[in-house]
């Protein structure tokens, strides 16, 4: 069983609504990644953090998403104004170090449906 905890498992929103999901990384893992897995099962990297700092993010995330990893609280990813194309499985992963040579440990995901 995954030690990365994601909530909620399912999220249903209307277009234009905010959609917020949370992730608790595996204990002792300072690095958190968010990926979007679309209906074709392709992974799209969104953003990653080391402790509270953003390491890398894509343009889409910068414009339409807000994400944070506050100390002593779950990390979160929020879509400010949901679009139909945002319907996907959002996977959170954590790792021991920020270097991409390290193994990712994934949560079960939050499945977002935008109606």
Partner 1 sequence: GDSVTQTEGLVTLTEGLPVMLNCTYQTIYSNPFLFWYVQHLNESPRLLLKSFTDNKRTEHQGFHATLHKSSSSFHLQKSSAQLSDSALYYCALGRNNNNAPRFGAGTKLSVKP
Query: Per rule CB under 8 A, is residue 75 in the interface with partner 1?
Result: no
Q: How many residues bind partner 1 (CB under 8 A)?
A: 26
Query: Minimum distance from CB of 69 to partner 1 (Å)?
Result: 15
The number of CA neighbours under 13 Å toward the Cβ of 85 is 3
Least separation in angstroms between residue 68's CB and partner 1 is 17
Q: Is the dihedral of CA 107, 6, 50, 88 positive or negative?
A: positive
Binding partner 1 (rule: CB under 8 A), the pick from 59, 63, 85, 103 is 103
Q: 57: which residues sit within 8 A by CB, 6+ positions away?
A: 46, 47, 48, 67
To partner 1, the closest distance from the beta carbon of 18 in angstroms equals: 25
SS (H, E, C) 42-59: CEEEEEEEECCEEEEECH
Residue 42 interacting with partner 1 (CB under 8 A):
yes
Residues that bind partner 1 (CB under 8 A): 2, 4, 33, 35, 40-43, 45, 48, 50, 55-56, 91, 98-109
């Amino acid at each position: 069983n995954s030690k990365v905890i994601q909530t909620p498992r399912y999220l249903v929103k209307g277009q234009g609504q905010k959609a917020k999901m949370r992730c608790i990384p595996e204990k002792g893992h300072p690095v958190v990644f968010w990926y979007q897995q679309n209906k074709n099962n392709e992974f799209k990297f969104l953003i990653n953090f080391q402790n509270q700092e953003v390491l890398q993010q894509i343009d889409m995330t910068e414009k339409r998403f807000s994400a944070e990893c506050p100390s002593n609280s779950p990390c979160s990813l929020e879509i400010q104004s949901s679009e139909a194309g945002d319907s996907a499985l959002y996977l959170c992963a954590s790792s021991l170090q920020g270097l991409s040579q390290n193994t990712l440990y994934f949560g079960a995901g939050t499945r977002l449906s935008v109606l």
